[in-house]
Amino acid sequence: MKTTDDIDDIGIVTCTLLGEARGEGKQGMQAVANAIENRVLKPCWWGHTFREVCLKKYQFSCWLPNDPNRGKLLKFSELDPIYGVAEELARKAMAGTLNDITNGATHYYAKNIKDLPNWAAGKKPCADIGHHLFFKGV
């Protein structure tokens, strides 16, 4: 079975978009790509590169060892049409040519979660896209 060591940086970002928002379509995946890029543009504890940001522990649930999405990500076929959409978005984000539809968000969470993340307490979303709320200045 593949590991993250077997996946190049474009693949890591692509898989993160698929794991976090493949059910949200192109716009939802673009919003996640924007949040990743915004973190890279403001290096902090979450990392300095696209790879570091995506794989930072506890930041993107799809990479958690027990998350059901992780196994799916490591098996995704590059021939799958949704993979192509995610890869195109990843390439644009990494090239700095992806329009930011999140208004600078670095964080987000799914609207359907029971307990709000601690970091979201008292914060106003800067974007509401699909099933996710996006935040900046966290």
Residue ranges of the domains in the chain?
4-101
Helices in the chain by DSSP H: which ranges? 9-21, 25-41, 50-55, 68-75, 81-95
> Residue 27: which of 124, 134, 138, 117 has the closest Cα?
134
Question: What does the pLDDT read at residue 21?
Answer: 94
pTM for the model? 0.94
Name residues of the chain where pLDDT drops below 70. Answer: 1
Question: What does the pLDDT read at residue 1?
Answer: 58
Question: What does the pLDDT read at residue 31?
Answer: 98
Question: What does the pLDDT read at residue 77?
Answer: 77
Question: What does the pLDDT read at residue 62?
Answer: 92
Residue type at 91 in one-letter notation: R
- Give Cβ neighbours of residue 81 (< 8 Å, ≥ 6 apart): none
Residues forming beta bridges with residue 129, ordered by sequence position: 132
Question: What does the pLDDT read at residue 73?
Answer: 78
Question: What does the pLDDT read at residue 75?
Answer: 76
**CA 59, 111, 100, 7 torsion-angle sign:** positive
Residues forming beta bridges with residue 128, ordered by sequence position: 133
What is the DSSP-derived secondary structure letter of residue 6?
Answer: G
Question: What does the pLDDT read at residue 68?
Answer: 85
